[in-house]
Amino acid sequence: MIIDSVGMLDLLLVTLASFGIGALGALIMARSPKLASIVGHGGALLGAIAALMLGLAGLAGGSLQLEFADLLPIGGAVFGMDRLSAFFVMVTAVGAIPAALYAIGYTREYAGKHSLAGMGLAFNVFIAAMILVPLACNVLTFLALWEVMSLASYFLVITEHEREETLQAGWIYFVMTHAGFAALFLGFLLLAHATGTASFSEWSAAAAKLDPSSRNLIFVLLALGFGSKAGAIPLHVWLPRAHPAAPSHISALMSGVMIKLGIYGLVRVAFDWLGVGPIWWGGTMLVVGAVSGVLGVLYALVDGDLKRLLAYSSVENIGIIMLGIGAAMLFQATQLPGLAALALVAAFYHTLNHAVFKSLLFMAAGAVLHATHTRNLEELGGLIRRLPQTAIFFLVGSLAIAALPPFNGFISEWLTFQSLLLSFQISAHTVNLLFALGVAALALTSGLAAACFVRSFGITFLALPRSERAERAREVDWTMRAAMLVLALACVGLGVAPSVILAPLEAAVFALTGAHADMQFSLTAVVANDGFGWVAPLWIALGLVGFLLIIPLGLRVIGANHRRRYYETWGCGRALQTARFEYTAAAFANPFKRVFGLLYRPAKKLDVEFHPESRYFVRAIAYDNQGRLVFEEALYRPLLRLIEALARQARLLQSGSVHGYLVYILIALVALLILAV
């Protein structure tokens, strides 16, 4: 009702106004950190709620057109919303609402140490930019907003700038995001030059006129640019540094929402701007997705830092989304639009699900960090008794990300599997084999993700605390818990009743590909390809709950013994039971380190310090078994060395003499005159 009467434009104005009030209000209240936080984050919360309504209205069919001709050169600032943009606005809002609520409680400890006013400003600008990026309809609007988003997030990442590693992480993030920006800039300029227009809506029609080699080049440039933002391997190196360094609600936003804008770009490139591409585009996307999925989760499995492993897990999930997108591109290239639409629905659903459960996981990890002041898994433990609600929220997030029923991750991975399995309808052998390997990669990813989160949840929350900090932890305040509760309920809701979101998703995909997805769904069941596979999430949930209630009743009926006695853990009769006897996180990951040793290239160091008087007595043992960062050593360091070498050569040009520089100007002038004539 509100949506009809207010109108889309008004919703957008309300959204931007709320963010503006939040940003300015935070600055005005700079003297009082508490008020600055409440105004800043409250404004962001209201803006995000308005954005959610905007996104939902857009998915329901509303449209938007806005143009400011003189704001930017080359066409002005143009905004427009179609169903795809509306979906990504909705995803942003879904991530931003809990983040804003959470931030109020989380940033309390920054009062006095860092400027909460500055944080409020940057926070509002960041979210506003993320909401406007999908609405941008022309090259410079898009690039300007993209840059604003990157800058705002950079300032938020380096909030805790007193730590050396945070500044380093921020620097690497800054460089990578601008390298991606350069690729995007180049790609956009080439495309605009080739098609003669800078407006996005005119590109899909003009794309047919492009010659294949320039199309391929543009695709590669844009894919690199958007892929680096999304965090696909091997462009992911900034993710595991920036996400742990940032404050937890910012990590949640970056992981849950910002990297999805890279996905938005990839979808636009593959399905809208460049038209249907050759097979190798989709194939490359599929392979990159599979590799990112498997490698991402393998790195997450052996990581000892709670937030860094969540960052690697984001790389994994981006891989899964790219598997779906790659599959969709391949289906389009082989004239199977129904299946392409199905694969896209799966990818989009996973995008939304990941935004929900990854935000939940980062917020829960942030709560742990808030309560214990450590992210190191080897120092945590026993938190289920001290932070009982946070534990349940982390458990829900873990179950969702491991794709277990009855949560949302299960449905989106199931759909991705179905679309990959349906590839048998293509009759090209290499493509079939590629899809088969994609299925294997997705299955491996899924199994390893379950293992990874058994480890994360188990070591962090179960058994005994491994350090004093974990022992003294107390449950966090209500704003943080309320934000997590909202996301946990969303995980369950999206898992039990997926048809609620599948209908608008299908409509969005139809607008993009012109085909209806090869699936039917009702309130209770989802069917793919007329019976190739079906699942009934609501029934599964009811079945699980039903049996869980019946079994204890059954036990009472047969008269089972109900006495329970508490005693110590069985330690083979040992008198002592401390946290030192528990399994450690590194030990839990050991089987994987050995099986996938080729990837990790672990460098084991074992230093044994003997008693000075006798080698039979050991005083101390130091064990270090870190994996080496393969991509950094193999790819980035040589690249950086090459750039450094080139820069050193270029320094020869800097002679320091004014006469030399005048000669350069003369040469440049003459060259340009020759080129112009």
Partner 1 sequence: MALLLRYLLKTPVFTETLHRDDDLEIEIITRQIDTRARERFGRSLHIREVDAGSCNGCELEISALNSPYYDLERFGMHFVASPRHADCLLVTGPVTRNMADPLKRTYNATPAPKIVVAVGDCAHDCGVFAGGYGVVGPVSAILPVDALVHGCPPEPRAILLGILAALEKHP
Partner 2 sequence: MLIEITIEILQLLIVMIGSPLLVGIIRKAKARLQGRRGAGIFQPYVDLRKLFSKEVVVSENTSWIFRFTPYLLVTTMLLSAVIVPVLTTRAALSFMGNIIALMYLFLLGTFFLALAGLDAGSAFGGMGSSREVAIAALAEPTVLIAIFGIALRAGTTSLDGIITRFAVEPLLMLNAGHLLAFIAFFVVALAENGRLPVDNPATHLELTMIHEAMILEYSGRLLALVEWAAAMKLFLFLTLLSNLFFPWGIALANTPSTLFIAGLALAVKLLVFAVAIAFVETSVAKLRLFRVPELLAGSFTIALLAVVTAFFIK
The whole-angstrom separation of Cα 350 and Cα 312 is: 17
Contact between 573 and partner 1 (CB under 8 A)? yes
- Determine the 3-state secondary structure of 616 from DSSP: strand
Number of amino acids touching partner 1 (CB under 8 A): 9
Q: DSSP of 500-514, one letter per residue? A: HHHHHHHHHHHHHHS
The whole-angstrom separation of Cα 408 and Cα 493 is: 8
592 binds, among partner 1, partner 2, none (CB under 5 to 8 A by kind): partner 2
Per the CB < 8 A criterion, the answer to whether 312 and 296 are in contact is: yes
The whole-angstrom separation of Cα 512 and Cα 340 is: 11
Interface of this chain with partner 2, residues 506 to 545, rule: CB under 8 A = 525, 531-536, 539-540, 543-544
Q: What track of x and - describes contact with partner 2 for positions 451 through 490 (by CB under 8 A)? A: x-xxx-xxx-xxxx--------------------------
Shortest separation between residue 571's beta carbon and partner 1, angstroms: 8
Q: What track of x and - describes contact with partner 2 for positions 412 through 441 (by CB under 8 A)? A: --x--xx--x--x----x--xx--x--xxx
Instruction: Tell me which stretch binds partner 1 (CB under 8 A): 145-153, 541-549, 568-576, 602-610.
Output: 568-576
Contact between 583 and partner 1 (CB under 8 A)? no
Instruction: Tell me which stretch binds partner 1 (CB under 8 A): 20-28, 143-151, 361-369, 569-577.
Output: 569-577
Beta bridge partners of 604: 625
Q: Quick one: which of 69, 211, 558, 567 contacts partner 1 (CB under 8 A)?
A: 567
Q: What track of x and - describes contact with partner 2 for positions 40 through 69 (by CB under 8 A)? A: ------------------------------
Instruction: Find, among 180, 163, 172, 295, the residue nearest to 237 by Cα.
Output: 172
The whole-angstrom separation of Cα 162 and Cα 334 is: 54
- Sign of the alpha-carbon dihedral angle for 480, 483, 489, 490: negative
Q: Quick one: which of 1, 548, 553, 572 contacts partner 1 (CB under 8 A)?
A: 572
Instruction: Find, among 546, 529, 583, the residue nearest to 339 by Cα.
Output: 529
Q: How many other CB atoms sit within 10 Å of the CB of residue 567? A: 5
Shortest separation between residue 620's beta carbon and partner 2, angstroms: 20
Instruction: Tell me which stretch binds partner 1 (CB under 8 A): 226-234, 299-307, 446-454, 570-578.
Output: 570-578
Instruction: Find, among 321, 339, 357, the residue nearest to 495 by Cα.
Output: 357
Q: Which tokens is 223 given?
A: 């894919």
Q: Can you tell me which residue has the tokens 């590909």?
A: 513
Q: Quick one: which of 70, 211, 568, 613 contacts partner 1 (CB under 8 A)?
A: 568
Contacts for 71 with CB less than 8 Å, ≥ 6 apart:
77
Q: DSSP of 368-390, one letter per residue? A: HHHHHS--BGGG---HHHHSHHH
Contact between 304 and partner 2 (CB under 8 A)? no
Q: Which is nearer to partner 2, 16 or 451 (CB)?
A: 451
Contact between 450 and partner 2 (CB under 8 A)? yes
Contact between 559 and partner 1 (CB under 8 A)? no
Q: Quick one: which of 31, 429, 562, 565 contacts partner 1 (CB under 8 A)?
A: 565
Instruction: Find, among 244, 187, 178, 240, the residue nearest to 210 by Cα.
Output: 187
Q: Which tokens is 107 given?
A: 């940033």
Contact between 575 and partner 1 (CB under 8 A)? yes
Contact between 610 and partner 2 (CB under 8 A)? no
Interface of this chain with partner 2, residues 348 to 387, rule: CB under 8 A = 382, 384-385
The whole-angstrom separation of Cα 74 and Cα 143 is: 12
Q: Which is nearer to partner 2, 272 or 316 (CB)?
A: 316
574 binds, among partner 2, partner 1, none (CB under 5 to 8 A by kind): partner 1
Contact between 574 and partner 1 (CB under 8 A)? yes
The whole-angstrom separation of Cα 238 and Cα 311 is: 10
Number of amino acids touching partner 2 (CB under 8 A): 82
Interface of this chain with partner 2, residues 548 to 577, rule: CB under 8 A = 548, 551-552, 555, 558-571, 577
- DSSP designation for 106: H
The footprint of partner 1 (CB under 8 A) covers 563, 565, 567-568, 570, 572-575
